[in-house]
Structure 1
Amino acid sequence: MNFRNRDEFWAFYVSQHSKPSTRRWHFVGTLSGIFFLICSLLFSWWFLLFVPFSGYGFAWYSHFFIEGNIPATFGHPIWSLLCDFKMFGLMLTGKMDKEIKRLGKRPILQVF
């Protein structure tokens, strides 16, 4: 699936995270990834090994077992990472629900 710009991908990304528990697991994964990144800077570079496992582990679990779709990371890794941080920021500030309403109901598309 091709996207012309970041806004198109963002609408798709949000549609792939339609369930609140999927978004919560993503939040936990991103937060734990940030935690391990900070630990690697403060204590030992070995903590870097846990960054992708914790971040992607929680997120992929939510896609396979809660949302029932394929993670957008498989088809668009860079845009997915950027949108994950955007979603994390919106959730942290309490604005994600407003963003979901702004986008309206979108069809849930598969990456492949």
Structure 2
Amino acid sequence: MNDARSIRSFAEFYPFYLSEHNDRRNRRMHFAGSTLVLVCLALAVWWQVPWMLLVALLCGYGFAWFGHFVFEKNRPASFKRPLYSFLGDWVMYKDLWTGRIPL
């Protein structure tokens, strides 16, 4: 499926999302960025510093977009379907942790 905008459900979107993450280095960048997001969120709560939420956003999207532009050579799915892409990031993160997708 080439046009992410024609997808009607997350169940339809996720296979497309995975097809946009074929390069292992890109998946590793996503994994690192998502891990840093969780660390930043924990620190924001622990230290009670709201600006860490901005750092979390920068880590998450920065690492992911770097992986797409440098390794995958495609436009991030978040440009096409932001909500499904956000959900896809976390489902892929879980799939990477559990070994369903190779890291």
Shared fold, TM over 0.5: yes
- Alpha-carbon RMSD: 0.9
Matched residue type, 1:13: Y
Unaligned runs of 5+ in 1: 98-112
- Residue 50 of structure 2 corresponds to residue 45 of structure 1: yes
The aligned residue for residue 62 of structure 1 is 67
Please point out which of 16, 21, 24 is paired with 1:20. 24
Matched residue type, 1:10: Y
Q: Distance in 2 between matches of 1:81 and 1:56?
A: 10
Q: Distance in 1 between matches of 2:37 and 2:45?
A: 13
Matched residue type, 1:24: R
Identity across matched positions, percent:
37
Aligned residue-pair number: 97
SS in 2 for 1:45: coil
Could you tell me how far 1:4 is from its partner in structure 2? 2.1
Q: Distance in 2 between matches of 1:78 and 1:60?
A: 16
TM-score (norm 2): 0.90
The aligned residue for residue 78 of structure 2 is 73
Q: Distance in 1 between matches of 2:10 and 2:57?
A: 23
TM-score (norm 1): 0.83
Moved >3 Å (runs of 4+)? none
Show CA shifts across 1:21-79 (max 9, x none): 11110000100011101100110222111011000000000000100000000111110
Matched residue type, 1:5: S
